[in-house]
Amino acid sequence: MVVIGGGLAGAKTVEALREQGYDGQVSQITAERHLPYERPPLSKSYLAGESAFDDAVVHPAQWYQDNRVDLRTGVRATAVDAAAHRVRLDDGEDLGYDKLVLATGAVPRRLPVPGGDADGVHYLRTRDDSDAIRSVFGEGRRLVVIGGGWIGLEVAAAARGAGTEVTLVEAAELPLLGVLGAELATVFAELHRGHGVRLRLGARVEEFATDGGRVAGVRVDGETIPADAVVVGVGVAPDVTLAESAGLAVDNGVLVDACLRTSDPDIYAVGDIANHDHPLLGRRVRVEHWATALNQPAVAVAALLGGAAPYIELPYFFSDQYDLGMEYIGFAPPGSYARVVVRGDLDKREFVAFWLDGESRILAAMNVNVWDVVDQIKPLITGGVRVDADRLADPAVGYADL
């Protein structure tokens, strides 16, 4: 068995192979020189200096030895020959496999503007990226964050926590507008304004101003915003290079069936790259969420070892910004829902929001500074329960009584 990827999905795949009784050879390939690790802390606690990198490592080095996993760090897989069942590595070796699991994750989208290759322009994907970004934080430092998605907002929060002056530039009229809708996106806009972030909304980045090869500012709609550093967070793209080399079916990620099997029966894909035929949601879903990387590998391993149970977990993610913590469960992309119902207090940022379809079924929910409700809400989503919006908005009505 060969697993390619050094994130949570790759580490959980080799773990599942041993836990489910596979006793043969297991190799894990990662281009990074670090032990496989979880990525959420890179924009949250680790970036803020609140946790050590070791806290993000999935397994210590001894675990790989104890479980006879051939972990190869600092080695990049460059191509897959599916017909020959071999993986080409950049150290010159060809590694054979019986079954292959791709957990190659995603890569940041680049902003194609002049000056984009200047020193001081950062993207966030790896530990080294996070270290480089944290090094520019501090009193008197000026940081421009481009992109008002989850990563951009979390970086802004961490930077402000370190006393950095932050300007956030977003093309939409509100951060997270396409994800949450106007009412809830306003909550996050006001959160950041209240913590001193300058928001430039509905704005277009024209170029990066440079001085001696280093970024000195960001030109936005004719105005140059001074900057000692820039972080670009305008989304990611699934890393399907190896999948394409193997001739797999690719469309917004690697197309996989309900059990995470690709168009090649001996190759599986998990995590950010898996465009999954979700049997519960009745559609294809590809999400870049921590819980997907955590939970998909056990299902993929069960399938490649001869099982047939599908992956049915709902998408789930979380975010921490200043004194706001939130969890989101379900799947409600733009255009899929008819209305949003809020239970709680938006102004105090203590509420649960629900996205409902046209038949008053809950598609997704987000709890903000309200805890221990995900397990109560989840059955309402998976069961397709039709709810009364007024009762849903009433905190006095228990979730079991909806």
Running along the chain, 402 residues long, what does each successive block of 10 average in pLDDT?
98 98 98 97 97 98 98 98 98 97 97 96 98 98 98 98 98 96 95 98 97 98 97 97 98 98 98 97 95 98 96 97 97 93 97 97 98 97 96 96 94
Concatenate the DSSP letters of all residues of 82-116 into one string: TTTTEEEETTS-EEE-SSEEE---EEEPP--STTT
Measured CA to CA, the distance from residue 317 to residue 81 in angstroms comes to 35
Specify whether the CB–CB gap between 103 and 271 falls below 8 A: yes
* Architecture field, domain 2-107+236-304: 3-Layer(bba) Sandwich (3.50)
Q: Where in the chain is the domain with CATH 3.50.50.60?
A: 2-107+236-304, 110-232
Query: What CA–CA distances, in Å, run from 89 to 30, 61, 92?
Result: 10, 22, 6
pLDDT for the residue numbered 156: 98
pLDDT for the residue numbered 5: 98
- Its CATH class, for the domain covering 325-401, is alpha beta
Measured CA to CA, the distance from residue 105 to residue 119 in angstroms comes to 25
Measured CA to CA, the distance from residue 400 to residue 38 in angstroms comes to 34
pLDDT for the residue numbered 215: 98
Q: In 10 A of CB 288, how many CB atoms? A: 21
Please tell me the CATH superfamily of domain 110-232, with its number.
FAD/NAD(P)-binding domain (3.50.50.60)
Q: Where in the chain is the domain with CATH 3.30.390.30?
A: 325-401
